[in-house]
Amino acid sequence: MDARRRIAINAGGGFVSGLDLVATGVVLAADRLGWEVLAIRDGYDGALFPERYPEGGIRRLTPEIIRDSRGLLGSAARADPFHVRQVTEDEIAEEADRSADVLSALRDARVDAVISIVGASPVTGMHALSVAWKLHRLGLPTICVPKSIENDIPETALAFGYNSALGHATELLDRIRIAARDAGRLAVVEVPGQHAGWLALQAGMAALADAVLTPEIPYDIEKVAAILRPDASLITVAENAAPIDSQVEPPKPTDMRASLSPLSDPRFGEGARVIERAGQAAHSAALALQRLTGRETLPLTLGQLVRGGEPSAVDRQLGLGYGAAAVRALDAGETAAMMSFQPPDLRVIPLRQALNRVRTIPADSPFLQIARALGISLGDSGRVMETSRSPSGAPMGLVLNIQHFCINDGPGIRTTVFLKFCSFRCKWCSNPESIHANPELAYNINKCIGAKACGRCLKPRRRHHAERRRVPAAAGL
C-alpha cells in the first residue's frame, strides 16, 4: 500500500448539482485507509488567497463533517495558478506565475497528492486539466475526476453532473413546450453547449422538440422553417450553435471598442452580448424563424437553471464511485491520471489523453440517427456527410491546406496537412473558415459587392481564400 497519508481535494470553476458527493466518496474511501483529507477552497484559490476564507483556505474534512455540510469545496475558482492577475506597486495589472506559491502552501499543509474535480466552466473548466498536468510536471501527484453539464470531456462516456443537468433541462423543456403549445407560440430555448451539443440533443429528444440545433451541425434556418408543423412548439438550441452562412469574416471593431472591450465578439453587435453570449443563439434563431414562418416566437435561455436542484440517482452513484475510485488509484500509485466511466467499468486513463480535446457528437452518432427517425430536424440535409468515413470505416477529413517545409508545432522539417473542424469555437479565432467540417464558400464580407445575394461569382476565389488563411495543427486536427 502507498505510504501516502494526507491528500487534498478541490473543484474547478462551475457548479454542478451534488458536487459534494464526489468529496464524500473521497473522504469515506480515504478514511478506511487511515488517510486524512483536506479541502482546498474554490480550486486553488484557497491556497493562493487564504485571507479570503475566515475558516482557512485549506481545511480538514472528516466523515462527520462531509455528511452534514454542503458547499465545503466551493466551485467559484477564478485563478489559474500559472496566470494570476495582480496589480503591481505602480498600479499596473499583470499576470504572474504563482504555481510555486501553490506548491509551497500544499507542502506546508503536508499534502502528498491532490484529487481535482475538473470541467464545467469556460473560465477554469476544461483548462483545469492542463493546470493539473502542469502541476504534475512540477512534482504534484494528481488524479482528476471529470465533471461537466455538457458531457464534453473526452475519454469518458459520462461526466459527473451531466445526468442531473439532463433531467433538469428535460423537465424545464417539457413545461415550456406545453405552455408554448397552449399559447400558440414557437419557443426557441437555448441550453448550455459551448463546445458540444449533447445536452441540447438528448434533452431535446426527451422533450420531443421539433428541431435541435447543435454546434457540430451548422444549420440552415430555411430548412428548419420548412419542416416545422403548424403546431410546432419547441426548438432546442445549443449555446454555440451557428447557421451555415455565419462563417464569414466579421468586421473589425473600432479602436475605441477594442480598447474598452478587448474580448468582445463583433458578430454580436454593440449590445450586451459582445462578451457574454448566453441567449444570442436562441435570439438569432427565433428572429429568423419569425421572419420565415410569420409565427410569434419566444426566445428563452435556460443557462444556470440546469445546474441547480437535487442530483439524480445516477449522479449520486457516479459521484461516490468517482471519489472512491480516485482514492484507490492513488493507493495503487497512479498519478497524472483521470478517472473514466466506460460502462460498466470505472477506469484510470493517462491524463494526457484528455488534454486539448473536446468530446463532441460524432457524425455517425446513434443519437442523431434516433432524432432523425423521430422526425426531429437537425437543421441539415438529414444525412451524415459522405466524407466522414472511408469504405473501410477509417475516419476521414476535409483538407483545408497543405503546407510544405514546416518547422513550427513540432520537431524537424515536414509537410503539414491542415483539416477543417475545430470544436473549441474560440472568440479570438484567426481562422473561422476552419471551424466547421463541411465544405464552405469562403469570402470577405467587407469586399463582397453582391450583398450575399448568391455567392456564385466568388467560386473562383474559393481555393485562394482557403489557402490564404490556415488553421493551426493543434486546433484543426
SS3 track for 165-224 = HHHHHHHHHHHHHHHHHHHCCEEEEEECCCCCCHHHHHHHHHCCCCEEECCCCCECHHHH
Higher pLDDT, residue 355 or 141: 141
Tell me, what's the pLDDT at 141?
94
Residues 152 and 234 in one domain: no
Tell me, what's the pLDDT at 427?
60
Gap between the Cα atoms of 371 and 243, Å rounded: 19
Residues 184 and 129 in one domain: no
**Which of 247, 204, 248, 228 has its CA nearest to residue 288?**
228
Residue 368 lies in a domain: no
pLDDT above 90: residue 300 = yes
Tell me, what's the pLDDT at 311?
93
Q: Are 179 and 288 in contact (CB under 8 A)?
A: no
In CATH, what number is assigned to the domain containing residue 128?
3.40.50.450
| 110 Cβ contact list (under 8 Å, min separation 6) | 6
| 31 Cβ contact list (under 8 Å, min separation 6) | 37, 62, 63
Residues 289 and 221 in one domain: yes
Higher pLDDT, residue 70 or 45: 45
Residues 123 and 21 in one domain: yes
Residues 216 and 172 in one domain: yes
Q: Are 212 and 201 in contact (CB under 8 A)?
A: yes
Among candidate residues 262, 287, 307, the one where a domain is terminated: 307
Question: For the chain, what is the mean pLDDT?
Answer: 80
Residues 230 and 141 in one domain: no
Residue 382 lies in a domain: no
Q: Which of 4-18, 40-54, 153-167, 225-239 has the lowest mean pLDDT?
A: 4-18
**How buried is residue 295: exposed, middle or buried, by Cβ count under 10 Å (0-12/13-18/19+)?**
middle
First-to-last C-alpha distance (Å) of the chain: 41
**Which of 458, 470, 380, 455 has its CA nearest to residue 420?**
470
Mean pLDDT of 428-449: 67
Strand partners, 338: 144, 349
**Which of 377, 439, 413, 352 has its CA nearest to residue 142?**
352
Tell me, what's the pLDDT at 104?
95
Q: What are phi and psi for residue 211, nearest 5 degrees?
A: -155, 150
**How buried is residue 10: exposed, middle or buried, by Cβ count under 10 Å (0-12/13-18/19+)?**
buried
Residue 357 lies in a domain: no
Q: Are 414 and 406 in contact (CB under 8 A)?
A: yes
Residues 99 and 27 in one domain: yes
Residue 444 lies in a domain: yes
36-40 and 84-87 beta bridge pairing = unpaired
Residue 371 lies in a domain: no
Tell me, what's the pLDDT at 410?
63
Structural domain of residue 46, as residue ranges?
A: 6-161+311-343
Residues 76 and 191 in one domain: no
Residue 361 lies in a domain: no
Residues 251 and 333 in one domain: no
In CATH, what number is assigned to the domain containing residue 193?
3.40.50.460
Residues 238 and 272 in one domain: yes
pTM (global) more than 0.85? no
Q: Are 133 and 26 in contact (CB under 8 A)?
A: no
Grid cell digits, residue 472: 493551426
Q: How many domains does the chain have?
A: 3
Gap between the Cα atoms of 426 and 234, Å rounded: 29
Q: What are phi and psi for residue 372, nearest 5 degrees?
A: -65, -35
Residues 185 and 76 in one domain: no
Residues 169 and 292 in one domain: yes
Mean pLDDT of 113-117: 94
Among candidate residues 290, 307, 324, the one where a domain is terminated: 307
**Dmax over Cα atoms in the chain, in whole Å?**
73
**Which of 175, 180, 218 has its CA nearest to residue 197?**
218
